[in-house]
Chains A and B, each alone.
Chain A
Amino acid sequence: MKGICPICDAGVTLLGGTEESEIISCSDCKSRLVVQKISKGKAILGKAPVIEEDWGE
């Protein structure tokens, strides 16, 4: 499955089992990306949200 990096336009190959809302990295520009939607074998990627003060476990 592939998607396009919204930062550098590189093609990003996603590992099998990647889920929507998962955070991944662009193999080219190393930006943190979020998998917004998976449809018909294609992934729509967006810029990952910035870590916020209340994030954690």
Chain B
Amino acid sequence: MITIGLLHSTIRGDEKLILQAAKKRKVNIMPIDVREQVFNPGTYKINFDIALIRTVSTVKGTYAAQFFEEMKVPVVNSSSVTRLCEDKFYTSLRLFQKKVPTLKFSLVFNLEQAVAAIEELGGFPVVIKPPLGSWGRLLAKVNDMDALEAIIEHKEVLGSPQQKAFYIQEYIKKPGRDIRSFVVGGKVICAIYRDSPHWITNTARGGEASNCPVSKEISRISKDASEAVGGGILAMDIFETSEGLKINEINHTMEFKNSEHPTHVSISGAIVDYCIKTAKKI
């Protein structure tokens, strides 16, 4: 029987749902806290068949994914998918290269280039994001030059080296919501609307989830985006724009606990099934 190693650094509601789904399917699943591991390839004893990376810490998850791949254990999501999706600039570059509709973007390292980049993007407002980060944290909607100067100065003085890479994205006026689709093994299993009066619609920031029927257009762009970054278990953040749907970001350790109820889809069950299928293939 196949055993799934559930690599985590905190058990969230999402991981509990995965544990419950595995139990329901009578699948062995072993929670492994990465913080308690010694990743020494000469001594590490592997007693599971597939590693499911579910760490809330991106850095720890990336190291774990690389380690287990080198140890010849199948890993979901793979380290290459993780690296692409953990960094917004890398994700955007890949989507651009693969011609998947996405927002206009640039990356710069100082104010002078930021001004030039914003001009190229069509002017203010724009959104500045840390390339690495999640849950809608440290996003800034920049409406004018004064705000731009202040934000860049603060980042230059107070930020870590990562914060000094300025990922700039065109601002899209959303219809009070965005769409999140869930893609498992290349199949779009469900989607939600995230409604919020705030321009940041993350559920972590109070956005409310409701079912979003998966249209052909949602299915197409979600599948294309999944394929572009290498597939696996992914959540697509999609904006409805005047030019059609566009991918905003891709999440490789997706949170879904608020999405099973409105969609009536067992996302956790789909994750477990995908792990079993992947482990059996190898």
Taking beta carbons and an 8 Å cutoff, which residues of A are in contact with B? 17, 19-23, 34, 49, 52-57
Most buried by B among A19, A21, A56, A57: A57
B19 touches which of A19, A34, A49, A52 (Cβ 8 Å): A19
Instruction: Kindly count the residue-residue contacts between A and B in the assembled complex, taking CB atoms under 8 Å apart.
Output: 57
A17 to B162, CA, bound (A): 38
Spot the interface stretch: B56-64, B140-148, B149-157, B266-274. Answer: B56-64
A34 to B12, CA, bound (A): 11
Chain B contact residues: helix, strand, loop or mixed: mixed
Taking beta carbons and an 8 Å cutoff, which residues of B are in contact with A? 8-12, 15-16, 19-20, 31, 33, 56-60, 132-135, 137, 160, 162, 235, 251-255
The reply to whether B31 and A21 form a contact with Cβ atoms under 8 Å apart is: yes
Q: Of all chain A residues, which has the CB nearest B163? A: A53
Q: Of all chain B residues, which has the CB nearest A19? A: B11
CB distance from A3 to the nearest CB of B (A): 15
CB distance from A30 to the nearest CB of B (A): 18
A56 to B59, CA, bound (A): 10
A19 to B10, CA, bound (A): 10
Chain A residues, CB < 8 A from B60: 54
The reply to whether A57 and B251 form a contact with Cβ atoms under 8 Å apart is: yes
Known: A52-B57, A57-B254, A57-B255. Is A19-B31 also a contact (CB below 8 A)?
A: yes
Known: A54-B59, A55-B58, A57-B255. Is A22-B160 also a contact (CB below 8 A)?
A: no
The reply to whether A34 and B10 form a contact with Cβ atoms under 8 Å apart is: yes
CB distance from B45 to the nearest CB of A (A): 20
Known: A20-B11, A22-B16. Is A55-B57 also a contact (CB below 8 A)?
A: yes
Q: List, sorted by A's number, 8 A–B pairs whose CB atoms are closer than 8 Å.
A: A22-B10, A22-B12, A23-B11, A23-B12, A53-B133, A55-B58, A56-B134, A57-B253
Chain B residues, CB < 8 A from A49: 10
CB distance from A37 to the nearest CB of B (A): 11
The reply to whether A21 and B235 form a contact with Cβ atoms under 8 Å apart is: no
CB distance from A38 to the nearest CB of B (A): 11
A17 to B31, CA, bound (A): 14
Known: A54-B58, A57-B134. Is A17-B16 also a contact (CB below 8 A)?
A: yes
CB distance from B121 to the nearest CB of A (A): 25
